[in-house]
Structure 1
Amino acid sequence: MPATIPAIVFIGGGPRTAGVLERIAANRPDVFTGPLQIHVVEPHIPGSGRIWRYHQDPGLLLNSMAADITMFTDQSVECAGPAAPGPGLAEWAAGVLDASIIDVPDFPQPLWQQLRTLTGTTFPTRQLQSQYLEWFFRRASRSLGRSVTVHRTTAVGITAQEGGGHHVELANGRTLHADIVVTALGHTDSRPDAISARFSDFAARHGGYHAAPSYTTDVDYSPIAAGQDVIVAGMGLAFVDLLVLLMEGRGGRFQETDDGGLRYLPSGREPRLWAGSRRGVPYHSKISAALRGLAPGPLRFFTADAVEALLAQHGELDFRQHLWPLIAKEAGYYYYRELLTGSPERGAMGWDSFAARYTGLDWYSGERTDLVAAAVPDAGLHLDLERLDRPFAGLRFDGHRAVQEAVAGYIEQDLALRDSRDHPETLALFLALLHVYMEVGRVVQPERLNARSQQVIHGWWHGFFSFVDSGPPPHRLRQMLALHRAGLLQFLGPGLEVTPDEASGTFRATSRQSDVTVSAKALIEARLPSTSVARSLNPVLASLHESGLGSEQRLLTSDGIHSTGKLLVSAEHRLVGADGQAQATLFGIGPGTSGWGAGAFARPNTNAAPFRENDALARTILGVSRDIAARPSATVISEPTTPEPAAAGKN
């Protein structure tokens, strides 16, 4: 009786699946060398998937520089599998240009121009990134021989089979047998929550316009008329994309002025946007400075040993009470080390003396505050993480003009600090938070935190990190100021509240910190939809939820049971069913799962968390495959399919 050839089905073929495939290939010699059948189900081109697909507005950019993007598990990654170095985006572009990399499609001329002008400090277009990701997927697929079959369709359901394994139903009518299923769905859509559904119903009844949370480039903005007032709730990355689509995307353009400023030349087709959010300001700019002081080195305070000591003392940890003070102290250590060693003229104390005293002090102690005041005379250079998080906390604005001046002034100050070579301490802070963000999932397991803390990590901590570290290129903030001066972008301030007004048939936007009220027929919620397995529009997630094969993460806190909306997975990324048991052969990875999550690609040489996760998952999958292959089988149960080339090009 022949041995079973394990069949692995990946649902979703974006960069996360590509990363796991690369790790499966790298780990096969060590774990399982037998044959595999690997199916990747992806309606878009595999590698880039939906979010990074080529066919989107050419003005949309990444919020990372080319030198900070790689898909390769380099030597810095601490994992059981072998490193497999390869070119990051910048090196890949250079290789395409000098023909040392030739396994690429025939690019259209605009992409060749982007390749020729790309440098390590360029913020590349998503179109160019799509080609790098698709190239990486093809490379990973080839490394697995003829094992990989791509199905350019959508998975619509998963059902368990008697005797083991699952059936994966596809929208094209086929059914795949799967011994192992991996859901790697990335960002998915959900039915609107109660508030958004109310907004949509209101707009429909009153002839208005409402865009519920969604991936910005997938929304139809054509009903918005030229000159129309539009309330925008949210000032994060979705808001940045929205400005591109509704301003330059409608024919306007930016022009450099003689004094080095920026002017917006409207086409006349643009609407007028009124933007606000909880903080009332956009995400912080990416940073132009380079470190001048001592090299950062490893984390000193937020470490596995420190967390173990806290666990030994408390048993269960609270993020705010136990972990955040360590994170804040780590951020301060990075920040003041760069300030005092890279710009010693700004300090009144040597770094060695400062560090010796700082190490023994709690972040929230008066002694630490006094030490900083003595070492750094300019109070404007003191690191205040609470003010960083809520820059307008406690302020009251006297009218519309005061709000405009405050938000515009905040953006200008942010650019002065972060788009300047004079403040490398902002880069040190960026690196500290990035390092901690990548380490959280490794130094503390979710089950060792109380339920409230898991909510905080998925909510506030992720939001704070994104606000400080995942902001747009600096020129996007300059463009915001130019649009503001052109009268096309007005600011609503912090504490934004939007309510439908039945009497007028308009949406009303107010700020809790000012008396400004704006009414408009159109409302855009500029953010991705909140993850919700129960409300998911993805048929596979709906199928998992309805069948009980998967479940939504629910947390019991002192004020009741709360759902994070995320697909619940174990520490090994196994789906946890409605019965509370981890599924042996069903796995989930990515931002929609209860795992900590850390993106799909990363900065080179940073021991990146997604690469560590990819490696561990690949080894788990191979171990399960080895056990499956050891079982004798009279037949190999897998529907014959017509292979589709894994190296498929653009649509």
Structure 2
Amino acid sequence: MPAKIPVIVFIGGGPRTAGVLERVAANRPDIFAGPLQIHVVEPHVPGSGRIWRYDQDPGLLLNSMAADITMFTDESVDCDGPAVSGPGLVDWATGVLAGTITDVPDFPQHLQEQLRALNGTTFPTRQLQSQYLEWFFRRAARALNRSVTVHRTAAVGIAPTGDGGHDVSLANGRTLHADILVTALGHTDSQPDAASAGYADFTERHGGYHAAPSYTTDVDYSAIAPGQDVIVSGMGLAFVDLLVILMEGRGGRFEETADGGLRYLPSGREPRLWAGSRRGVPYHSKISATLRGEAPGPLQFLTPAAVDALLQRHGELDFHQHLWPLIAKEAGYYYYREIQTGSPERAAMDWDEFAARYTGLDWYSAERARLVAAAVPDDRLHLDLERLDRPFEGRHFADHEAVQDAVAGYIEHDLALRDGPDHPETLALFLGLLHVYMEVGRVVPADRLNARSQQTVHGWWHGFFSFVDSGPPPHRLRQMLALHRAGLLQFLGPGLEVGTDEATGTFVASSPQSGTIVAAKALIEARLPATSVARSLNPVLASLHGTGLGTEQQLLTADGIHSTGKLLVTPQHRLVRSDGKPEEAVFGVGPGTSGWGAGAFARPNTNAAPFRENDALARTILGAAAGLAALDTHSPEPAAVGKN
């Protein structure tokens, strides 16, 4: 009997799907070399998808340098499948210019100029990155011998078929049958939460403008008038994009001054922004320093053995009590090693002596603090992770001007630490946190964390890491200061609170630490919407939730049941149904799922988590496909039809 040809459907065709497809192709010789039918459902261009698509403001940049971007699973990746070498973004650009990479479109002039100017320290535009990602997808699809069909439409529903498979309904009216289904939806939109819904209702009644959390480039800001006061809630990466769109995007420009500074020349079409957040400061900038001391080695404290010992002792782990002290200790080890081996003139103790004593001490112990004080006399160089996380904690400002001076001074100090050669310890800290972030999901089983800690992982831990390690290029902070000096950006301070005034029909922003109060007719919530399967505007997630094929991650804590909003998956990325049972052949991957979260592309030679996850998922998919292909159809031979 003929073998069954397994049908695999990917819903979402962004970089995460491209990475899994590359791993499917690489692992086929080991697991299943038979024929496959693979369908990729993606309304945008496959490879780049919605977030990285070409069609967005040309001024928007990545927050990673070009040297830190690859889609290839290199030899550093600890996975069962074979490594496949290939060009990261910089080598890809070189190959395009040299003509050795030919599977690319004819680039417009501005992209050709970007290709020629690109080097390892460039922060590339998202438009250029879109072309690299789309090229990678085409390469991965070719490696699967033309078994990949792309459907440039959206999936709108999923229904089980009774034979273990699922039917995927498409917006164009077609239906795809899937033996194996993978949802890789990336960042999706959700119905507004109660606060945002209240703001929207207020705006409808009083006029004005309100932008709920969304992907910044998808929001229509045309209703914001020149010179209008706008309250902005959030100072993260969405805020940085907002500045690009509302300032340079409206015709203004920056110019260098004679003293090396930056001046903003307005077009007159810009609004005036009043920005604040919980911290009251923007994300830390990326770092231009290079290490001088000993190169980082493997993690010393957050190791599989250490985690196993904690599990043996406690059974269930608490992030802040059990894991954070090890993470903090790793960060400190990276940081102080760079000071003592790279800038020994700033140290009063030999590194080997320090490391030997440091290894046996708890991060929060008085002995560790005394050791650091003895080894690094300048207390301005002492690493305080709590102060790093909340720089204005406990500080009260006399007035609005004091807030302006404090936030501007904070940004200037951050640039002094990160955008120059004199503080390579900031790069060591960056690398230490990055290494931990990429490793923690491998050594810590998510299902062995208590409920409070799983909330912490999706909330505070990811936010802290992003604040310190995933900030904008340094010149974005210099531009922020120039906009502030031009009077187009005012700082509201930490602990931002936003309310409404029915009498005046205005939004009211305040900071309890400064007493500043600002009223305006416009409010922008500058952040991505919180993930929520139950409130999702994505029809696939709505279908999964409505049918019970998928469910939100629910956590039972001491004060009740809480939802992370994430799509619940097993450690093998299988979707968990509303009855608690995993789906055998339906998988979920990406930022909206309950895993640790790993991104889509990464630095080369860092054993990056997304590549490990992609490889493991691809091997699971191929194993399922092999099992399906081994089944006979068991269909009877058709009866002969005689002629009368």
Q: C-alpha separation between the residues in 1 aligned to 2:502 and 2:630?
A: 67
Alignment-derived partner of residue 49 in structure 1 = 49
Q: C-alpha separation between the residues in 2 aligned to 1:260 and 1:439?
A: 40
For structure 1, the residue ranges without an aligned partner over 5 or more in a row are 637-651
Q: Give the aligned residue type for 1:484.
A: H
Alignment-derived partner of residue 320 in structure 1 = 320
Alignment-derived partner of residue 330 in structure 2 = 330
Q: C-alpha separation between the residues in 1 aligned to 2:119 and 2:446?
A: 39
Alignment-derived partner of residue 441 in structure 2 = 441
Q: Secondary structure at the match of 1:4?
A: coil
Tell me, yes or no, if structure 1 residue 93 matches structure 2 residue 96.
no
Q: C-alpha separation between the residues in 2 aligned to 1:501 and 1:222?
A: 24
Contact residue 294 and residue 337 of structure 1 kept, 8 A? yes
Deviation at 1:441, TM superposition (A): 1.1
Alignment-derived partner of residue 343 in structure 1 = 343
Alignment-derived partner of residue 162 in structure 2 = 162
Alignment-derived partner of residue 268 in structure 2 = 268
Contact residue 7 and residue 38 of structure 1 kept, 8 A? yes
Deviation at 1:163, TM superposition (A): 2.0
Alignment-derived partner of residue 140 in structure 2 = 140
Q: Secondary structure at the match of 2:22?
A: helix
Q: Give the aligned residue type for 2:144.
A: L
Deviation at 1:501, TM superposition (A): 1.0
Alignment-derived partner of residue 401 in structure 1 = 401
Tell me, yes or no, if structure 1 residue 389 matches structure 2 residue 377.
no
Deviation at 1:59, TM superposition (A): 0.2
Q: C-alpha separation between the residues in 1 aligned to 2:90 and 2:633?
A: 48
**Aligned pair count?**
636
Deviations 1:387-423 (A, max 9, x none): 0000000100111000000000000000000001110
Q: Secondary structure at the match of 2:204?
A: helix
Deviations 1:580-609 (A, max 9, x none): 001001000000000111100000000000
Q: C-alpha separation between the residues in 2 aligned to 1:579 and 1:140?
A: 36
Contact residue 209 and residue 521 of structure 1 kept, 8 A? yes
Q: C-alpha separation between the residues in 2 aligned to 1:313 and 1:587?
A: 33
Deviation at 1:475, TM superposition (A): 0.1
Q: C-alpha separation between the residues in 2 aligned to 1:425 and 1:216?
A: 33
Q: Give the aligned residue type for 2:532.
A: S
Q: C-alpha separation between the residues in 2 aligned to 1:547 and 1:352?
A: 60
Alignment-derived partner of residue 427 in structure 1 = 427
Contact residue 2 and residue 634 of structure 1 kept, 8 A? no
Tell me, yes or no, if structure 1 residue 484 matches structure 2 residue 451.
no
Q: C-alpha separation between the residues in 2 aligned to 1:269 and 1:635?
A: 70
Contact residue 4 and residue 635 of structure 1 kept, 8 A? no
Tell me, yes or no, if structure 1 residue 203 matches structure 2 residue 203.
yes
Deviation at 1:204, TM superposition (A): 1.3
Q: C-alpha separation between the residues in 2 aligned to 1:449 and 1:596?
A: 11
Q: Secondary structure at the match of 1:515?
A: coil
Q: Give the aligned residue type for 2:7.
A: A
Alignment-derived partner of residue 287 in structure 1 = 287
Q: C-alpha separation between the residues in 2 aligned to 1:344 and 1:162?
A: 69
Alignment-derived partner of residue 646 in structure 1 = none
Tell me the TM-score normalised to structure 2 length: 0.98
Q: How does 1:213-612 map to 2 (within 5 A)?
A: 213-612=213-612
Q: C-alpha separation between the residues in 2 aligned to 1:103 and 1:54?
A: 17
Q: C-alpha separation between the residues in 1 aligned to 2:635 and 2:7?
A: 13
Q: Secondary structure at the match of 1:150?
A: strand
Contact residue 433 and residue 469 of structure 1 kept, 8 A? yes
Deviation at 1:634, TM superposition (A): 6.0
Q: Secondary structure at the match of 2:270?
A: coil
Q: C-alpha separation between the residues in 2 aligned to 1:617 and 1:202?
A: 46
Deviations 1:101-130 (A, max 9, x none): 111111111100000000100000000000
Q: C-alpha separation between the residues in 1 aligned to 2:447 and 2:249?
A: 46
Q: C-alpha separation between the residues in 2 aligned to 1:628 and 1:398?
A: 70
Q: C-alpha separation between the residues in 1 aligned to 2:336 and 2:441?
A: 26
> Residues 87 and 635 (structure 1 numbering): CA distance in 2 closer, same or farther, change over 3 Å?
farther
Deviation at 1:164, TM superposition (A): 2.0
Contact residue 2 and residue 635 of structure 1 kept, 8 A? no
Q: Secondary structure at the match of 2:273?
A: strand
Q: Give the aligned residue type for 2:161.
A: Q
Q: How does 1:32-43 map to 2 (within 5 A)?
A: 32-43=32-43
> Residues 550 and 635 (structure 1 numbering): CA distance in 2 closer, same or farther, change over 3 Å?
farther
Q: C-alpha separation between the residues in 1 aligned to 2:329 and 2:587?
A: 36
**Sequence identity (%):** 81
Q: Secondary structure at the match of 1:26?
A: helix
Alignment-derived partner of residue 15 in structure 2 = 15
Q: Give the aligned residue type for 1:317.
A: L
Contact residue 25 and residue 144 of structure 1 kept, 8 A? yes
Deviation at 1:301, TM superposition (A): 0.3
Q: Give the aligned residue type for 1:396.
A: H
Deviation at 1:555, TM superposition (A): 0.2
Q: C-alpha separation between the residues in 1 aligned to 2:205 and 2:346?
A: 60
Deviation at 1:374, TM superposition (A): 0.7
Q: C-alpha separation between the residues in 2 aligned to 1:633 and 1:472?
A: 55
Q: C-alpha separation between the residues in 2 aligned to 1:210 and 1:204?
A: 9
Q: Secondary structure at the match of 2:244?
A: helix
Contact residue 10 and residue 40 of structure 1 kept, 8 A? yes
Alignment-derived partner of residue 629 in structure 2 = 629
Alignment-derived partner of residue 189 in structure 2 = 189
Deviation at 1:542, TM superposition (A): 0.2
> Residues 353 and 35 (structure 1 numbering): CA distance in 2 closer, same or farther, change over 3 Å?
same
Q: Secondary structure at the match of 2:454?
A: helix
Alignment-derived partner of residue 108 in structure 1 = 108
Q: Give the aligned residue type for 2:38.
A: I
Alignment-derived partner of residue 130 in structure 1 = 130
Q: C-alpha separation between the residues in 1 aligned to 2:170 and 2:635?
A: 23
> Residues 635 and 142 (structure 1 numbering): CA distance in 2 closer, same or farther, change over 3 Å?
farther
Q: C-alpha separation between the residues in 2 aligned to 1:559 and 1:436?
A: 30
Tell me, yes or no, if structure 1 residue 618 matches structure 2 residue 598.
no
For structure 2, the residue ranges without an aligned partner over 5 or more in a row are 637-644
Q: Give the aligned residue type for 1:424.
A: P
Q: C-alpha separation between the residues in 2 aligned to 1:441 and 1:557?
A: 22
Q: C-alpha separation between the residues in 1 aligned to 2:18 and 2:490?
A: 42
